[in-house]
Chain A
Amino acid sequence: MSAMLLNKEKWPEFVKKLTGKNLWAPKLDGEAMRFAPVAEGEEVSLDYGNTRVPPKGATFPQTETMYRFLVGNMEIEEPKMDEELVLLGVRPCDARAMKIIEKLFRWDYDDPYYLKRRELVTLVGLACTEPGLNCFCSSVGGAPDSSEGLDLLIYDLGDRFLLEAVTVKGETLIAETKELLTDSDASAVKAKDKLMADAGAKIRRTVDHDGIPEGLPGLWEDPLWKSVSASCIGCGTCTYLCPTCHCFDIQDEVEGFEGRRCRMWDSCMFEEYTLHTSGHNTRPTRRERTRNRINHKYNYFVDKFDVIACVGCGRCINLCPVNIDIVEILRRVKEAL
């Protein structure tokens, strides 16, 4: 795979080339960064930490129309899904998350919606140089320069960018912007290695998950679950902002005679999530729901797909209204083993 250099002076031109496609990049929305469409001529700044909401919606939209129908009519109309999308400035943890949840969407059944969107999206990553306060990617199999799930990875070397193609899609992007790029050299690679070593050293939080996936079932009735969930208010912040959380609900929404079946994000932290028609709830309190959140990420998913379904992005810690801290929970789990 090729590696090329892009002088920063040529960055606006590079972005302009990409805006010929359906380009999304992190933009300031109020006080928070979010992925949003970039118009032609619009500037894109890569000076940000993790976006507030992860880019998982590119492949797993919060509301996905599966098909439309007219009430009383047996025919369905499937939405067209053919527009390519380029996400610029994806953090390695978020791209890795997409690769992780893809395992689920390819599991017993190939999910046409997810896989089609995955096929249509090109992920242009941005290696982290300033990990956030609650980042712990390196504890869970990631790294500030992990290329898993990405098509192209960009390193910010100060006055220039180093672009490394990871997949054929990445190679294509490089080929399309060739006139702006120059060949990489040894000094760039050296600078990149130093930058990434420094970035790795800046990660302050760690999780020692050794023994946790196997040990969690034995802690099912442990008092720690009550204690770590006591202050939970049961909102969906941790799960909706999680790049690997992928639970969904399917509903038919009808207005007049026009209806659509759609699926939308759901959260295991909601009371309604496991509520049966009978009125029985298999996870009646936040204790069971919190236990499930941790078990799903650190046990069930590992059991099935051999990878922890947490990429250490820190969003659930940053945004929890009551300071429920997954690193802290995992430390308590480890202690209880």
Chain B
Amino acid sequence: MDLEQLRKTAAEVVARDDVKYLIGWKKGSYGYRVAPVFVEDAAGVAELIFSPLCTANLTTYLTLVEKTPLPRGQEADKRKVALMVKGCDSRAVVQLLVEKGIHREEVIVIGCPCPGVVDQSLLVEKYGDTEEPVEVKWNGDGFMLVRGGEEIKIPRDEVLAEKCRLCRYPNPVISDHLIGAEVEKWSPAEDSGVSELDAKDVDGRWEYWEEQFNKCIRCYSCRNVCPLCYCQDCILDRLNPTWINRAVNFSENTAFNISRAFHLAGRCIECGECERVCPANIPLGKINRKMAREVREKYGFEPGLDPEAEPFQASFKPDDPEDFIL
């Protein structure tokens, strides 16, 4: 990754009059942590980084902006937002364009070809957590951990995030500025997590998810972090009618999680953020990847690739399969 090129491009972008800020990654407050950063001027670009620790999908911030009522006479800030994206993240941008959740002229996409990021929990498990500032870099086929002057080579498979093992789009599918050269695609691993569940019978699957959904504490971090969960009026917040009770129990937790999975069918771009942020360690990726697999295999459709595509759930073809209709 060419940091110099990134910071130079970023400085040029934020210097533009029609740009509000650039959303990127910076070193976090300690150890392996990386935090999102909102850069408003050229001085801020020095903080920007792009490393295997930049797991977060920043696209969510495009729709997370709160639009408070404006004082009389004041006009809305219509300047563009610049955004750093990896391959998977860029698909969320495209999907938002498809759904008209954002418009092309509102965003400047800074694409970062991504050789795969690390799963921080694996890193912590294998190499221990630390409060010292550390660096993790891409190094040939694997990663390099730089800690206290020591350089530790880490084989790629040891700490690679699951979503990256399955990744089919490491290069941004949309970008206005591409930082560095595109990376060579790798052949995605078989999604054993989904296949193993598929192999269970209905009771087995139900038992599995019962155990998982019982753990849910309804913090809604999965919903809030999701770049494609951006309804202004979410059914979870509705009280009249109350679609989903506030009570935290298996029944309501399941209603919540299943609703979210259905709402994301044909829309989820598999960035894995929901699973990463879940404080209860619910393997949410398995639900969403199962839905994505169904849509891909049955309808030959993949979301977040073509900004001109019709939204999957709003399209119909006479030869759509219907063998699953009872």
Interface residues of A (CB under 8 A from B): 29-32, 34, 52-53, 62-63, 133-134, 204-205, 230-231, 233-237, 240-241, 249, 251, 253, 262, 264-265, 267, 270-272, 284-286, 317, 319, 321-325, 327-328
Contacts and interface: CB of A to CB of B under 8 A. Distances in A.
B219 A253 contact: no
B225 A32 contact: no
Interface size band for B = 35 or more
Given A31-B281, A251-B245, A321 B217 contact: no
Contacts of B280: 30, 32, 52-53
Contact of A321 (B29, B37, B225): B225
A52 B280 CA distance: 8
A302 B276 CA distance: 35
B217 A231 contact: no
Contacts of A323: 28-29, 33-35
A271 B237 contact: yes
22 contacts: A32-B281, A53-B280, A62-B217, A62-B218, A63-B247, A63-B248, A133-B131, A231-B35, A231-B37, A233-B224, A235-B221, A251-B239, A253-B247, A267-B219, A270-B220, A271-B66, A284-B66, A286-B66, A322-B36, A322-B56, A323-B35, A325-B29
A110 to B, nearest CB: 25
B68 interface: yes
Contact of B279 (A62, A241, A264): A241
B129 interface: yes
Contacts of B277: 235, 237, 321
Given A264-B248, A327-B29, 20 more contacts: A53-B217, A53-B279, A62-B218, A231-B37, A234-B64, A235-B219, A235-B224, A235-B225, A236-B220, A237-B219, A237-B277, A237-B279, A240-B217, A240-B279, A241-B279, A253-B246, A284-B66, A317-B29, A321-B277, A322-B35
Contacts of A53: 217, 279-280
B195 interface: no
Given A133-B131, A236-B219, A323-B29, A231 B36 contact: yes
Contacts of A327: 29
Contacts of B221: 233, 235-237, 321
A284 B68 CA distance: 7
A249 B237 CA distance: 13
Contact of A249 (B130, B215, B246, B276): B246
Contacts of A241: 217, 219, 279
A301 B237 CA distance: 28
A317 B279 CA distance: 12
Contacts of B30: 133-134, 325
Contacts of B279: 32, 52-53, 237, 240-241, 319
A271 B277 CA distance: 19
- Give chain B's interface secondary structure class: loop
A126 B238 CA distance: 42
Contacts of A204: 131
Of the listed residues A134, A235, A324, A327, the one surrounded by the most CB atoms of chain B closer than 10 A to its CB is A235
B248 A233 contact: no
A273 to B, nearest CB: 10
Contacts of A240: 217-219, 279
Contacts of A205: 131
Contacts of A271: 66, 237
A233 B61 CA distance: 8
B244 to A, nearest CB: 11
Given A284-B68, A285-B66, A262 B220 contact: no
Contacts of A30: 212, 215, 280-281
Nearest to A260: B247
Contacts of B225: 233, 235, 321
A271 B129 CA distance: 33
A272 B233 CA distance: 11
Nearest to A319: B279
Of the listed residues B66, B68, B215, B281, the one surrounded by the most CB atoms of chain A closer than 10 A to its CB is B66
Contacts of A253: 242, 245-247
A324 B38 CA distance: 14
B90 interface: no
A264 B249 CA distance: 11
B56 A321 contact: yes
B60 interface: yes
Given A30-B215, A249-B246, A321-B56, A235 B220 contact: yes
A322 B58 CA distance: 10
Contacts of B245: 251, 253
A272 B129 CA distance: 36
